[in-house]
Chains A and B, each alone.
Chain A
Amino acid sequence: MARMKFLCDADRCIECNACVTACKNEHEVPWGINRRRVVTLNDGLPGERSVSMACMHCTDAPCAAVCPVNCFYTTDDAVVLHNKDTCIGCGYCSYACPFGAPQYPQTANFGTRGKMDKCTYCSGGPEEDMSQAEYVKYGANRLAEGKLPLCAEMCSTKALLAGDGDIIADIYRERVVTRGYGSGAWGWRTAYGETVTV
């Protein structure tokens, strides 16, 4: 089985936010929730870079470590998913996540947040693959259809890469060698304990 990862090549990202829009559209993500976002670093300065960020599907995911109801699980593809039926909306995962991935539909009194929502790597949840119940709770399950996450698939500059970690690391490494520079595999060190060295 592949070890699925995301890699955003910030030297190619043009901050078009198409990945954000594609994600919202593909999964009918409600207003106020962003499973993916683009952050621009050193905005307006020479050498600014934009990074598209979502759940990185960490190795030893910190969200899973702090969840009091054990609603997280890791698939055979190393994708970190969660069960909205058992989630109690306590918010612990959002304080454990280094990438700001967990999102909540509410901000009410007493910290009531509703069921957590986050990037599923386009692979749904614990419901039956490609069922209506799965779509309503978690969105589309492209992985079950043999496709990769839409954000990366439709990225116009091919900045955002999704797929087996070793393969996308090789692609990125080759790019860095060819063009002579690279700002790094953003988030990899934090998520996987290793970064892509060239």
Chain B
Amino acid sequence: MQILSRMMIALLAVGFLSLTTMDAQAQVNPTAQSVNEDSMFEALGADGNAVAGRTSIPDQNAANLIKPDNKAWAALQGTTLNFVFIVAIVGMVVLLTLFYVIRGRIRVEAGMSGRKILRFNSLDRFAHWTLASTFIILALTGLNLVIGKTVILPIIGENAFGSLTAFGKLAHNYLAWPFMVALALILILWVIDNIPDKVDLAWIKQGGGLLKKGVHPPAKKFNAGQKVVFWSVILGGVALSFTGVMLLFPAEAGAAADWQFFQTIHALAAAVLSAIIIAHIYIGSVGMEGAFDAMGSGEVDENWAKEHHALWVEEVEVKAKTSGTARASTPAE
């Protein structure tokens, strides 16, 4: 009896199961209701903007069948960023050339006094030149990635250009680190003198004396223009460093979309900072008489200092008197 009742239950169960499967078959037409490209595209956005499924190979990125958004990044990279770079760099060079033609070299109006004041000590200059040299190499090799194929490739040929660009990648691998150390160093050394204050407003109102001869708005150690450069370097440098490290370790950067975002920020920051640094290089060399000494020997002429950093000269003099030591300047010989 027991066996018979068990068989009955089993039979009923089988019957029930087959009924439900028949139901399922009746509801689903596997051909007409198949997944199709149109519906998958319509559903895009929720799932990381990829038409994705399952794949049997170990690389699970391969499960993304189609990622149309990658084309948006490619278009941005291939055209927009090139345009931004060319406008930023060429635009700045044109502006500076115009400035040089119209205004000419900014002279020390009182002439050189021959007396020197120490402006940047050896640590300041070490930090500055470490940052400057690494930045210039990184910027040039980075710029090569953007416009090298249109400018340099036709001149030196495919193979040489490939080697050159591979060297640029290597340079980024190694020079990124001294760049970041020097960036931290200049932040520590100079941040105290770069905090904006009221003097800067007056300086900006007079256009920094850049446009008119004989106008010299007073400034402390750094004028408002230099503060703008300082904070551009700090903010731009931090942005470049963070996104750069992410690009150096793409596996740690997250998904492909994150990498694309970091790359875009890296390129934009590089374009803007390069343009600012070109202006910085101009005014620190050909653009202004006596300015290069500050980072060259570290000692500037007293008359240059009085014209461009009057308040700073006062500070130095007061400091020298209160500390009881002789002024950090020597008479002309």
Report A's interface with B, CB cutoff 8 A: 10-11, 17, 20, 32, 34, 37-43, 45-51, 53, 62-63, 65-71, 83, 85-88, 90-92, 94-100, 107, 109-111, 179-187, 189-190, 195
Q: Which of B32, B37, B173, B251 contacts A184 (CB 8 A)?
A: B37
Q: Which of B54, B67, B74, B159 contacts A40 (CB 8 A)?
A: B54
Q: Which of B146-154, B181-189, B302-310 contacts A (4 or more CB under 8 A)?
A: B146-154
* Residues of B38-82 contacting chain A, CB below 8 A: 38, 40-41, 51-57, 59, 61-71, 73-75, 77-79
A92 to B28, CA, bound (A): 43
Given contacts A95-B260, A97-B70, contact A66 B77 (CB under 8 A): yes
B102 in the interface (beta carbon within 8 A): no
B195 in the interface (beta carbon within 8 A): no
Given contacts A17-B56, A68-B165, contact A39 B74 (CB under 8 A): no
B263 in the interface (beta carbon within 8 A): yes
A65 to B37, CA, bound (A): 26
A63 to B173, CA, bound (A): 23
- Which residues on A sit within 8 Å (CB–CB) of B145? 68, 90
Additional pairs, 6, CB under 8 Å, beyond known A65-B77, A96-B74, A186-B66? A11-B31, A39-B62, A62-B78, A70-B149, A85-B162, A98-B66
- Which residues on B sit within 8 Å (CB–CB) of A98? 66-71
* Residues of B222-268 contacting chain A, CB below 8 A: 247-251, 256, 259-260, 263
A46 to B220, CA, bound (A): 75
Task: Tally A-B pairs: CB < 8 A.
Answer: 169
Q: How far is the CB of B50 from chain A (nearest CB, A)?
A: 9
Check B40–A41 contact: CB distance below 8 A.
Answer: yes
- Which residues on B sit within 8 Å (CB–CB) of A68? 144-146, 148-149, 165
Closest to A37 in B: B62
- Which residues on B sit within 8 Å (CB–CB) of A96? 70-71, 73-74, 77
Check B35–A49 contact: CB distance below 8 A.
Answer: yes
Instruction: Describe B's contact surface by its main secondary structure.
Output: helix
A185 to B250, CA, bound (A): 32
Report B's interface with A, CB cutoff 8 A: 28, 30-38, 40-41, 51-57, 59, 61-71, 73-75, 77-79, 144-146, 148-149, 153, 158-159, 161-162, 165-166, 169, 173, 247-251, 256, 259-260, 263
Pull 14 A–B residue pairs with CB atoms less than 8 Å apart, ordered by A: A37-B55, A37-B62, A39-B65, A41-B51, A62-B70, A66-B77, A68-B146, A69-B149, A91-B250, A98-B67, A99-B67, A181-B32, A187-B66, A190-B66
Check A41–B65 contact: CB distance below 8 A.
Answer: yes
Given contacts A47-B28, A69-B153, contact A39 B34 (CB under 8 A): no
Q: Which of A53, A94, A95, A110 contacts B249 (CB 8 A)?
A: A110
Given contacts A41-B53, A68-B165, contact A85 B65 (CB under 8 A): no
- Which residues on A sit within 8 Å (CB–CB) of B30? 46-47
- Which residues on A sit within 8 Å (CB–CB) of B55? 37-40
Q: How far is the CB of A177 from chain B (nearest CB, A)?
A: 14
A-B residue pairs, 10 tightest by C-beta:
A184-B37, A62-B74, A65-B78, A86-B162, A96-B74, A41-B53, A47-B34, A183-B36, A46-B28, A43-B54
- Which residues on B sit within 8 Å (CB–CB) of A91? 250
Check A183–B68 contact: CB distance below 8 A.
Answer: no
Closest to A182 in B: B36
- Which residues on A sit within 8 Å (CB–CB) of B146? 68
- Which residues on A sit within 8 Å (CB–CB) of B79? 65
A109 to B64, CA, bound (A): 25
Q: How far is the CB of A7 from chain B (nearest CB, A)?
A: 12
- Which residues on A sit within 8 Å (CB–CB) of B250? 91, 111
Q: Which of A17, A51, A53, A87 contacts B162 (CB 8 A)?
A: A87
Closest to B150 in A: A70
Check B158–A49 contact: CB distance below 8 A.
Answer: no
Closest to A70 in B: B149
Q: How far is the CB of A43 from chain B (nearest CB, A)?
A: 4
Closest to A185 in B: B37
Check A183–B37 contact: CB distance below 8 A.
Answer: yes
